[in-house]
Structure 1
Amino acid sequence: MKSAGGLWGARFSKAPSQALVDLSRAPANYFRLAPEDLQSSAAHARELVRAGILTAEECTIVEAALADVAAAFARGEVAPIPADEDVHTFLERVLKDRLGPLGGKLRAGRSRNDQAANDLKLHLRTKARAVAVDLLALQDAIVAQAEGHVDTIAPGFTHLQPAQPVSFAHQLLAHAQGFARDIDRMMDWDRRAALSPLGAAALAGSAIALHPELSAVELGYDGPCENSIDAVGARDHVAEFLFVTAMIGVNLSRLAEEVFIWNSKQFAWVDLDDGYATGSSIMPQKKNPDIAELTRGRASRLIAVLQGVLIALKGIPFAYNRDLAEDKWAAFEALDTLELVLPAMTGMIATMTVDRDRLKAQATLGFTLATEVADWLSRRGIPFSEAHEITGALVRHCEARGCGLSDLSAADLAAVDPRLTADVLTRLTPEAAVAARSGHNGTAPASVRGQIERLVATLARQRAWASA
């Protein structure tokens, strides 16, 4: 009795129940792996020539048919039918329709287990580069904004409370550093994922496909997996990929949250382009940063699919189990989410405008120059713990008078502590505070320009990998 799927069932006396068929059939979006399955089938055909299963002439015919099916699938001319249990069943049916018994020879020496592991791994290695390309576009938008705001003075915050003045470019580039690490993580993941599962067959290895190292190279891998059970049973490469996408989601969400704050009427640091904002169905005046809001929400999906795969993996024996099919749902959800979110975030960042005057006006609110006073005292030999106390007293004096630090006179300073002289007033400007932090990772304009230069070099290195 043949099953509805066509790849198994010879030892069964009856057809599978409809409930089993419905549960077992792959979701429609799993069939997106057809290009990878066809690509690996071509490599397997060449392996079957080496094994003496196919002649060179038959292999040529099979490879041509596989290429033709790939083109037809891309054009939408071939598609799965309800009887196709999965992408492997679908493509064998199509190939046998075209080649007859020759199409059935291709199944020798392999299993859906190593095919499934290989198809997704190939797909993720390709999509990893696509994610990096989209993330690099966002990085370019951040760099472009930063280049225009190296000298723009802005409030810096800790605990969402005014802390110290910074260059607005420095604040933007903080996000760029996180995204740069995300791309490096993806590159590092790809290095570990560059081993082919083909040749593992069901779990014990193949008695026919004896040279998986050759098909691995043909498919762009560095080599085959070392252990056949690990090749079909491991999905830590999927979990690791999903960690990287979840981290991207978290970093996107943190940028989105800052855009919310910057765009609020209470802050009003930035204005979003009308093409990257939405309105309200009841309040005509509203202009909402929905891209940032949707991005923050979608980040939860990226975290959730990582958690789902880890839970699926934790309790199963180490070999192939159908539980592992959850890897595709999780991977596709993550990829589809980033494919929507990244271009939208890129456009929003690239087109937003920054109110330099408002940023500068807010840069000294909340006594953000107090650290300059403590540093000035420390340079004059006063222990910083004591300088901290003196500066705190000065802030209390200003609060009692309802004035800012820069409004103080020499007499005001002396009244708090005689060691506070009028010379300290030259340090009480946001420009002086920013310029003073001229170390390698500081917010001084010269340091920020160096940061941009080094980041651009990093992006060039990452772009070369993404385009490979």
Structure 2
Amino acid sequence: MKLWGTRFTKETDRGVEAFTSSISFDKKLYRYDIRGSMAHAKMLSKCGLISREEAAKITEGLEEIGLEIQEGRLEFREELEDIHTHIEARLREKIGDAAGKLHTARSRNDQVALDTRLYLRDEVKEIISAIIKMQKAIVKVADENIEAIMPGFTHLQPAEPVLFSHYLMAYFWMLQRDRERFKDGMARIDVMPLGAGALAGTSLPIDREYAAGELNFPGVTENSIDTVSDRDYIIEFTSAAAILMMHLSRLSEELILFANPAFGFLEVDEAFCTGSSLMPQKRNLDVAELVRGKTGRIYGHLISLLTMMKALPLSYNRDMQEDKEPLFDAVTTVKESLNLFAKMIGTLRIDKERMLSLARIGSMWATELANYLVRKGLPFREAHRIVGEIVACNYKKITLASLRKHSGEFDKDALSLLDPKEVVKAKASYGSTSLDQIREQIKKAKEKSQ
């Protein structure tokens, strides 16, 4: 059965059937296709386009087909092209001619747009929940290690001492923005496309708002050509997914670095590591490495979608069939990465002494020593020059006498700023690495991740 076959006099080449078939991947949409068809049948009945009895037969048949697919009893055949055709063909086998009325005032163009929107709406909700789960794991570890001090880096070189909790909470706020992006994108996803037809709408008396209500959409699309022409809501989702994966990739890189004995800041539980077939001592952070690697794949999906759409004339083109595999893979990858990361973060064991010892090297007191001179009234550029000279002298031990060789403004209290704990304690600005500020951040984070 082909939905379009009567105009043709020749059979489709088998190679063409294989090349154009999408059933191998779009079968994932079967629940949404059935749900959308049920709502469409109910709307057709309400509008007098089919009888109540026909709508009831269609609904009952669709429910049975859904169960068949769920239980693996429906055979998928390449010549039936896609999930929409499979379901309609099976429905015809079950209920006869009434099945042919289901496609009244509907095209596969608006049908597939509906299916992907329903699918993506559910998946975005799951992704947001997974982000919150990871945020909670981050907050828990930060709270448990709130006073631990570590070296802060710029250019991966020693910069200033910071609280480990401050460092970790940076990822909470990155994830918060990711969460907001997905939530904001939902406004573009959660719009009902059914009724747009192939591109021009329909002359039949349908009720799009009624169908939208049946499917819990807050509204309908405004322009039927736009409805079937664009996939910007999928591209926007994939963009948000790419940004999220970029954040996870950065955290992955740092976990790999910080778990290396050369850093020795932390240890990840063995449940999230693998070994080597040759080197008995190896403890590899394969989860983090794979998240880092899979990030590139999500970037590729985004570029693939943008490139696919960049020169398509309005309205629908078959090129757009190629949106499904990148979308499905992006959804699966993001969900798996978030769920594994949430578990892995919760297993971190922090070596506080090691982090503090490395925060004592690399002249990480330098900025705060310059600030000391600023508080004494020196211009910052002058203070910067003086402290730079002190660093260049590479003193084995800095004393008050050695400080005063460079500026008479130094008093005994300046020596306390050589201690990473005092440097951290000195910070006072909003959002800084001071303990009070981090406590406030954690408090806000707990409220946001409820």
State the TM bucket, normalised to the shorter chain: over 0.9
Amino acid in the other structure paired with 2:203: A
Structure 2 counterpart of 1:362, from 342, 358, 366: 358
Residue 422 of structure 2 corresponds to 432
Q: Would the aligned equivalents of 2:193 and 2:220 in 1 still touch at CA under 8 Å?
A: yes
Instruction: Tell me how far apart the structure 2 counterparts of residues 209 and 47 of structure 1 sit (CA, whole Å).
Output: 10
Residue 322 of structure 1 corresponds to 318
Measured on the aligned residues, the alpha-carbon RMSD in Å equals: 1.3
Instruction: Tell me how far apart the structure 2 counterparts of residues 195 and 321 of structure 1 sit (CA, whole Å).
Output: 21
Structure 1 counterpart of 2:406, from 416, 432, 443: 416
Q: How far did 1:448 drift?
A: 0.6
Greater CA deviation, 71-80 or 219-228?
A: 71-80
Q: How far did 1:29 drift?
A: 2.0
Q: Which secondary structure state, in structure 2, belongs to the residue aligned with residue 195 of structure 1?
A: coil
Distance 1:74 1:438, change over 3 A: farther
Residue 146 of structure 1 corresponds to 142
Q: Which secondary structure state, in structure 2, belongs to the residue aligned with residue 107 of structure 1?
A: coil
Q: Where do residues 357-396 of structure 1 align in structure 2 (5 Å cutoff)?
A: 357-396=353-392
TM-score after normalising by structure 1: 0.94
Amino acid in the other structure paired with 1:433: V
Greater CA deviation, 107-116 or 387-396?
A: 387-396
Residue 249 of structure 2 corresponds to 253
Q: Where do residues 17-32 of structure 1 align in structure 2 (5 Å cutoff)?
A: 17-32=13-28
Q: How far did 1:364 drift?
A: 2.1
Distance 1:294 1:357, change over 3 A: same
Residue 116 of structure 2 corresponds to 120
Instruction: Tell me how far apart the structure 2 counterparts of residues 164 and 435 of structure 1 sit (CA, whole Å).
Output: 12
Instruction: Tell me how far apart the structure 2 counterparts of residues 209 and 441 of structure 1 sit (CA, whole Å).
Output: 58
Residue 94 of structure 1 corresponds to 90
Amino acid in the other structure paired with 1:341: S
Instruction: Tell me how far apart the structure 2 counterparts of residues 264 and 223 of structure 1 sit (CA, whole Å).
Output: 52
Amino acid in the other structure paired with 2:18: D
Amino acid in the other structure paired with 2:318: R
Instruction: Tell me how far apart the structure 2 counterparts of residues 384 and 351 of structure 1 sit (CA, whole Å).
Output: 43
Residue 348 of structure 1 corresponds to 344
Instruction: Tell me how far apart the structure 1 counterparts of residues 92 and 446 of structure 2 sit (CA, whole Å).
Output: 51
Structure 2 counterpart of 1:300, from 296, 303, 311: 296
Q: How far did 1:333 drift?
A: 1.4
Q: Which secondary structure state, in structure 1, belongs to the residue aligned with residue 115 of structure 2?
A: helix
Structure 2 gap ranges (5+): none
Q: Would the aligned equivalents of 1:48 and 1:208 in 2 still touch at CA under 8 Å?
A: no
Task: Output one character per residue of 1:284-310: Cα deviation in whole Å (capped at 9) or x when no partner.
Answer: 111111111111000001100000000
Distance 1:209 1:441, change over 3 A: farther
Greater CA deviation, 417-426 or 157-166?
A: 417-426
Residue 43 of structure 1 corresponds to 39
Instruction: Tell me how far apart the structure 1 counterparts of residues 201 and 32 of structure 2 sit (CA, whole Å).
Output: 21
Structure 1 counterpart of 2:181, from 185, 198, 206: 185
Residue 333 of structure 1 corresponds to 329
Q: Which secondary structure state, in structure 2, belongs to the residue aligned with residue 416 of structure 1?
A: coil
Amino acid in the other structure paired with 1:459: S
Greater CA deviation, 105-114 or 95-104?
A: 95-104
Residue 162 of structure 2 corresponds to 166
Q: Would the aligned equivalents of 2:151 and 2:160 in 1 still touch at CA under 8 Å?
A: yes
Residue 194 of structure 2 corresponds to 198
Instruction: Tell me how far apart the structure 2 counterparts of residues 334 and 197 of structure 1 sit (CA, whole Å).
Output: 23
Instruction: Tell me how far apart the structure 2 counterparts of residues 77 and 439 of structure 1 sit (CA, whole Å).
Output: 64
Q: Would the aligned equivalents of 2:142 and 2:168 in 1 still touch at CA under 8 Å?
A: yes
Across the two proteins, how many residue pairs are aligned to each other? 450
Give identity over the alignment, percent. Answer: 36
Instruction: Tell me how far apart the structure 2 counterparts of residues 456 and 116 of structure 1 sit (CA, whole Å).
Output: 39
Q: How far did 1:208 drift?
A: 2.5
Task: Output one character per residue of 1:267-293: Cα deviation in whole Å (capped at 9) or x when no partner.
Answer: 010111111101111101111111111
Amino acid in the other structure paired with 2:340: A
Task: Output one character per residue of 1:114-166: Cα deviation in whole Å (capped at 9) or x when no partner.
Answer: 00111011101110111122222221211111111110011100010100111
Q: Which runs of 4+ in 1 moved over 6 A?
A: none
Task: Output one character per residue of 1:308-348: Cα deviation in whole Å (capped at 9) or x when no partner.
Answer: 00000011102010001111111011012123322222222
Instruction: Tell me how far apart the structure 2 counterparts of residues 32 and 272 of structure 1 sit (CA, whole Å).
Output: 35
Q: Would the aligned equivalents of 2:23 and 2:78 in 1 still touch at CA under 8 Å?
A: no
Instruction: Tell me how far apart the structure 1 counterparts of residues 103 and 363 of structure 2 sit (CA, whole Å).
Output: 73
Q: Which secondary structure state, in structure 2, belongs to the residue aligned with residue 100 of structure 1?
A: helix
Amino acid in the other structure paired with 1:232: V
Structure 1 gap ranges (5+): 461-468
Q: Would the aligned equivalents of 2:273 and 2:286 in 1 still touch at CA under 8 Å?
A: yes
Greater CA deviation, 39-48 or 423-432?
A: 423-432
Instruction: Tell me how far apart the structure 2 counterparts of residues 371 and 273 of structure 1 sit (CA, whole Å).
Output: 36
Distance 1:27 1:92, change over 3 A: closer
Amino acid in the other structure paired with 2:258: W
Q: How far did 1:418 drift?
A: 1.8
Task: Output one character per residue of 1:19-70: Cα deviation in whole Å (capped at 9) or x when no partner.
Answer: 2111111141211100000010011001211332211222222222222322
Q: Would the aligned equivalents of 1:51 and 1:208 in 2 still touch at CA under 8 Å?
A: no
Instruction: Tell me how far apart the structure 2 counterparts of residues 78 and 134 of structure 1 sit (CA, whole Å).
Output: 32
Q: Which secondary structure state, in structure 2, belongs to the residue aligned with residue 223 of structure 1?
A: coil
Greater CA deviation, 61-70 or 224-233?
A: 61-70
Residue 449 of structure 2 corresponds to 459
Amino acid in the other structure paired with 2:35: Q
Q: How far did 1:209 drift?
A: 5.5
Instruction: Tell me how far apart the structure 2 counterparts of residues 249 and 426 of structure 1 sit (CA, whole Å).
Output: 41
Q: Would the aligned equivalents of 2:192 and 2:219 in 1 still touch at CA under 8 Å?
A: yes
Amino acid in the other structure paired with 1:197: P
Residue 62 of structure 2 corresponds to 66
Amino acid in the other structure paired with 1:411: A
